[in-house]
Amino acid sequence: MNQTSKKPLAVVTGASSGIGYELALICAQRGFDLVIAADRPEIHGAAARFRELGATVAEVETDLSTTDGVDRVCAAAEGRPIDALLANAGHGLGRGFLDQDFSAERHVLDTNITGTIYLLHKVARDMRARGAGRILVTGSIAGFIPGSYQAVYNATKSFLNSFCFALREELEDSGVTVTCLMPGVTATDFFQRADLMDTKVGRSEKASAQEVAMDGFDAMMRGDAEIISGWRNKLQVATANITPAQILAKKHAQITAPGTAGQ
């Protein structure tokens, strides 16, 4: 990490692909140096691409479900103040709750929730002490919907959506802003990793990860509280807010239950 660089520093997790990669790419294009992290070796190729854009980049291949993994990300900044934190790391898990391996469910919980809020706790404390900083957390419109056949994932996103607004209120007038990015179905490798390719949602038309990332970045830079990316997703959230949870759960099952891809 270049200690003499005058550029602002952004930390982006889950940056090896999908929305996280696009967020890091935008940061590099907009003049940020980067600390990027993911649990896959593709993070090194991503770092090379961002260096071509003139950014100083420290990449960390680590398990972001662990406190040690998060500590490694923070250490990679080498004492430089973090101007923007884009907490995007997370993954899903398809199929019925009782049919999943609990260790896999636990990893989703620890990555999406524990690792994320531990990272926020460490970085946001320093931001508050300096009186400046921007935070973007990738939540999801899934957090508004009981997630039949994605029960753990949707519940983690409900937690993150709620947590973002609470933390934002606690940081009011501190100089630190918290923005919640809430995308819908997006074209990433999420569905393959979550074993959802035989489902209707796995085969459905999806939003561009680049467009979602741009929506999130711009909202973060404005200091907005939230951004629901895409008008269809805004409509879906509005509908979810007035629909009984039992009905939402049933409708969710119709697109996420195994074998629904051909229906």
Cα gap 164→158, rounded to integer Å: 10
Q: Which residue has the tokens 């200690």?
A: 3
What per-residue confidence (pLDDT) applies to 205? Answer: 75
Q: What percent of the chain has pLDDT over 90?
A: 76
Q: Which two tokens stand for residue 165?
A: 């607004």
Summarize pLDDT for 234-246 with one digit per residue, the tens. Answer: 888 898 888 988 9
Classify residue 121 as exposed, middle or buried by CB count within 10 Å of its CB (0-12, 13-18, 19+). exposed
Summarize pLDDT for 167-226 with one digit per residue, the tens. Answer: 999 999 999 999 999 998 876 777 777 767 778 876 777 779 999 999 999 999 999 999
Q: What would the mean pLDDT of 243-262 be, rounded to a whole number?
A: 87
Angle formed by the axes of helices 151-170 and 116-130, to 10°?
A: 10
The string over 31-46, giving b where at least 16 C-beta atoms fall within 10 Å of a residue's C-beta and e elsewhere, is ebbbbbbbbeeebeeb
What per-residue confidence (pLDDT) applies to 197? Answer: 78
Summarize pLDDT for 85-113 with one digit per residue, the tens. Answer: 999 999 999 999 999 999 999 999 999 99
Q: What are residue 133's DSSP bridge partners?
A: 176
Cα gap 245→108, rounded to integer Å: 23
Q: CB within 8 A of 76, min separation 6: which ones? A: 1, 35, 37, 58, 59, 60
How many residues does the structure list for the chain?
263
- Three-point CA angle 93, 98, 104, nearest 5°: 40
DSSP 142-179: GGGS--TTSHHHHHHHHHHHHHHHHHHHHTTTTTEEEE
Is-contact 139 160, C-beta < 8 A? yes
Is-contact 137 158, C-beta < 8 A? no
Summarize pLDDT for 39-79 with one digit per residue, the tens. Answer: 999 999 999 999 999 999 999 999 999 999 999 999 999 99
